[in-house]
Chain A
Amino acid sequence: MDNIRETVRRYILDNFLPGEDPANLTDQTELKESGILDSLSTLKLVTFLEETFKVEFEANDLDAGNLSTVESIERLVRSKRS
């Protein structure tokens, strides 16, 4: 599945930024410091990633940097599928 980025972007927009212009969420938008992903939304996103991409994360996978942008989330998902 090549549109990991798009799937992730769409999920974040629909669930955590309802009504936002999609153009404002780029692959490099900082997700943590900007307040878009807090502790609860992070858990929801992780559950969504595990179910959608059939991957399983270890606790250490979810450390700060790996979920900081759409781009880094894609990287994390790919590393788990390979």
Chain B
Amino acid sequence: MTATRSLVDLLESSARRFPGKTAVKVPGGASLTYAELAELSDRLRDRLVHLGVRPGDRVGMRLYKSVDAVATIFGILKAGAAYVPVDAESPAARGAYIHNNCSVRAVVTERSLEGAFVQALSELGATPAILALDTGSSAQPLHDLLTQLEKDDPAPKVASASIAPDDIAYILYTSGSTGTPKGVVLSHRNAASFIDWCSEVFSPSHEDRFSSHAPFHFDLSILDIYVSLKHGATLVLIGEALGKDPLKLAQVISEERISIWYSTPSILSLLANYGKLGRYDYSALRMVFFAGEVFPLPQYRALTKFWSAPRYFNLYGPTETNVCTWYEVPKDGSIDSMATFPIGQICPPNLGMVVDEQNRPVKVGDPGELLVSGPNVMGGYWNLPEQNARAFYVDSDGRKWYRTGDIVVEEPGLGYRYISRRDRMVKRRGYRVELGEIEVALSKHPDIRDAACVAVPDPESGVRVCAFVSCQEGKSLSKIALKGHCAQTLPPYMIPDLFTVLDRLPRTSTDKIDYQTLKASVG
């Protein structure tokens, strides 16, 4: 198969080869064939260009998962712009911050979300063009909206923009330690390198049925959407509510005859523990990919009792590199003696290197930070020159390496094994959570004087986030009020599990928060 040149080419090529085949569907809901997806995204492209979107611009998305959301992605890309998806389930203010931060020219959203979001954007002084889908009453909201707009104000048909490999395709925002999310800027080249590697290693076919479990603002979605569409397969969209409901999800995976599943280990554990998987037939399932966090071996064993046939792959990589190492779980029992899965070998043509604090390569078997270089690696963070300087190391040959912040060891024959983090980032349900971002959110409460967060291991959920706060003089806060404050300002996966109110937070002799003491009090 030829190398992917741009994410738009990949859809257009499949639309020529498989025009009448289902490209994307919602179980029990809407679907689009390849020809329909190509046409609908053409119409959105024309509308966006008419609204003033130009190559190099950013266009925001705040949509629940739907076939229209997939068409929206391609409409934006065809206009030569980058899409910036934000979580429809997270507070409006966070999404508005993100869209204002990268100055989106337009936003595609839904009527039910529009009011609060436009309000949050305007509070930041942002006034992008808004396209709001009426998902409540229409069976094909994007089609209907474009048809309506066409009557009132026709948009001339334009050609899709010509896309260069280094043009930005999308910006995915992740948790930032300074309290605000940071935008990871990824080009068509970055995405294509990863997609073509997937083609080579997994050899998917047009007969496959891919799951799309991860939301589109999460980088697992890149494999789902583009590898599926590149090969003329069918992408089965799993919406936000279904994705968290193991009982219903277990049934849908079976009924939809999903053949390639990709998600975080968290949801696989939920399926194994609560999904009653023994009730259904999963004979179509041939590959299971997991990524985003450590998959505890007992949970893996619980799952493979029900799903024994498929091949399992541990895929590793931060958003900044997408997947950059991989490990196929062997079926010969050799994992029985392991405590954790290795993250495995680097994905060619990328390169990996394990270094000490002076950027010197360590001996094989010694722990060090994993650096990654190659076509998967992001250009940088959006508009954050200082963080960009810290994120990269340029070696004496001029090669640019991304610092993952992950401490690993290299084990001959197995590849890398993850050990720990260099900083205060933790993974929850596969999402990156900077404890600093939670602290900043807590500190914004007018009654809170000081806030600190620590993470401790938890056998069931992987990690528990514990928040400690002290209140302003004469004030007190209930745990319910603290949880409620977090629910209004942070995404659901960032809300701490445990709150403790203290008169004052413990401090070290140098007057820094004493995290060790806090950790000991809950560990």
Contacts and interface: CB of A to CB of B under 8 A. Distances in A.
Interface of A: 17-21, 24-25, 29, 33-36, 38-40, 43, 47, 59, 62
Given A20-B479, A33-B487, 6 more contacts: A19-B500, A21-B478, A34-B483, A36-B480, A36-B483, A39-B492
Given A19-B499, A43-B270, A59-B245, A38 B492 contact: yes
B495 interface: yes
A66 to B, nearest CB: 13
B104 interface: no
23 contacts: A17-B479, A19-B479, A19-B499, A20-B479, A24-B479, A24-B480, A24-B481, A29-B480, A33-B484, A34-B484, A35-B484, A35-B487, A35-B492, A35-B495, A36-B480, A38-B495, A39-B244, A39-B245, A40-B461, A43-B270, A43-B274, A59-B248, A62-B245
Contacts of B245: 39, 59, 62
Given A19-B499, A33-B487, A47 B480 contact: no
Contacts of A18: 498
B215 interface: no
Interface in B434-462: 461
Contacts of B274: 43, 47
Interface in B459-518: 461, 478-481, 483-484, 486-487, 492, 495, 498-500
Nearest to B248: A59
Interface of B: 244-248, 270, 274, 461, 478-481, 483-484, 486-487, 492, 495, 498-500
A42 to B, nearest CB: 8
A50 B8 CA distance: 49
A18 B246 CA distance: 26
Closest 4 CB pairs of A and B: A35-B487, A39-B244, A20-B479, A35-B483
A38 B481 CA distance: 16
Contacts of A24: 478-481
A20 B478 contact: yes
B246 to A, nearest CB: 7
Contacts, number: 47
Judged by DSSP, the binding face of B is helix
A20 B495 contact: no
A59 B242 CA distance: 10
Contacts of B481: 24
Nearest to B249: A59
A34 B479 contact: no
A48 to B, nearest CB: 12
Contacts of A19: 479, 498-500
A21 B481 CA distance: 12
A59 B487 contact: no
A34 B487 contact: yes
Nearest to A63: B241
A34 B487 CA distance: 6
A45 B383 CA distance: 44
Contacts of B499: 19
B480 A34 contact: yes
Given A33-B487, A34-B487, A59 B479 contact: no
Contacts of B480: 17, 20, 24-25, 29, 34, 36
Nearest to A40: B461
A45 to B, nearest CB: 12
A34 B483 CA distance: 6
Contacts of A40: 270, 461
A21 B486 CA distance: 19
Contacts of B500: 19
Nearest to B487: A35
Contacts of B487: 33-35
Contacts of A39: 244-245, 492
A21 to B, nearest CB: 6
Contacts of A20: 478-480
Contacts of B244: 39
A38 B500 CA distance: 19
B457 to A, nearest CB: 16
A43 B246 CA distance: 9
Contacts of B484: 33-35
Contacts of A62: 245
A41 B165 CA distance: 44
A33 B478 CA distance: 16
Nearest to B485: A35
Nearest to B486: A35
B240 to A, nearest CB: 10
Contacts of A38: 492, 495
Nearest to A37: B483
Nearest to B476: A21
A36 B496 CA distance: 10
Contacts of A59: 245, 247-248
Contacts of A17: 479-480, 483
Nearest to B270: A43
Contacts of A43: 246, 270, 274
A17 B487 CA distance: 14
A46 to B, nearest CB: 9
B445 to A, nearest CB: 14
A38 B130 CA distance: 31
> Which of B247, B461, B481 has the most chain A CB within a 10 Å cutoff?
B247
